[in-house]
Amino acid sequence: MNTTQKYWYQDGGNVFAIVFVVIPITAFFGLAFYSKWQEDSKPQVVPMATGQLQQSLIGNPTFVVTLWHQHPGNLRNGALSVKVDSEMARGTGGSDFQIHSFELWEPNKDHAVSLAFPLKSFDSNIEMPITFQLTGKDIKPFIFKDVWLGNSWKSNQKLSPGQ
């Protein structure tokens, strides 16, 4: 080998390209891949929900949603939100919205969260769309929509054969 010829790592242009181009690009894509992998590895937690219409003798009815989760661990630093989109809702513009924030939410129905939505009136023939959203530190965000119709979730009502 010729002693006057420099090795590749002794050439300032090569070192500049590696330090200021190759390493930052590799780090950027590596961090993006790691972030995506970390997000994909989070579990999906689906909250369980029940609904109940409470009719008082005096005053308007109240729709109560009770939610819990069955994830095998505690959920941390999150929020559970429920939105009722219906003209029957007492909220502004035909909708009502509530958020339950938590630092720690333990699993199972023993630790259920109940949210009450006052209604102007109630008609069992009118659909009442409900949107659930659950976010937390170590879980994937979850959004689900269902409809309250009559005295049950519309997704639970099965049509008889012939309808």
Does 94 score more than 90 pLDDT?
Answer: no
How would you list the strands of the sheet with 113-118, edge to edge?
Answer: 48-54, 62-68, 113-118
pLDDT value at position 163?
38
Cβ(103)–Cβ(76) below 8 Å: yes
Residue 20 shares a structural domain with residue 79: no
pLDDT value at position 23?
85
Residue 58 shares a structural domain with residue 15: no
What's the CATH code of the domain at 144?
Answer: 2.60.40.10
**How many structural domains comprise the chain?**
2
Residue 126 shares a structural domain with residue 82: yes
Residue 53 shares a structural domain with residue 115: yes
Kindly report the pTM of this predicted structure. Answer: 0.73
Residue 120 shares a structural domain with residue 58: yes
Q: Tens digit of pLDDT for each residue in 8-25?
A: 777 778 888 888 888 888
Among candidate residues 126, 136, 70, the one with its CA nearest the CA of residue 101: 136
Q: Which residues pair with 101 in a beta bridge?
A: 79
Residue 35 shares a structural domain with residue 56: no
Residue 91 shares a structural domain with residue 114: yes
Residue 85 shares a structural domain with residue 147: yes
Segments forming the whole domain that contains residue 22: 8-40
Residue 33 shares a structural domain with residue 92: no
Q: Tens digit of pLDDT for each residue in 30-77?
A: 888 887 887 778 898 999 999 999 988 888 899 999 999 999 999 999
CA distance 103 to 148: 29
How would you list the strands of the sheet with 75-85, edge to edge?
Answer: 95-105, 75-85, 128-135, 142-149, 152-153
Residue 36 shares a structural domain with residue 52: no
**Residue 130 domain flag:** yes
**DSSP letter string, 40-57:** HTSPB---EEEEEEE--S
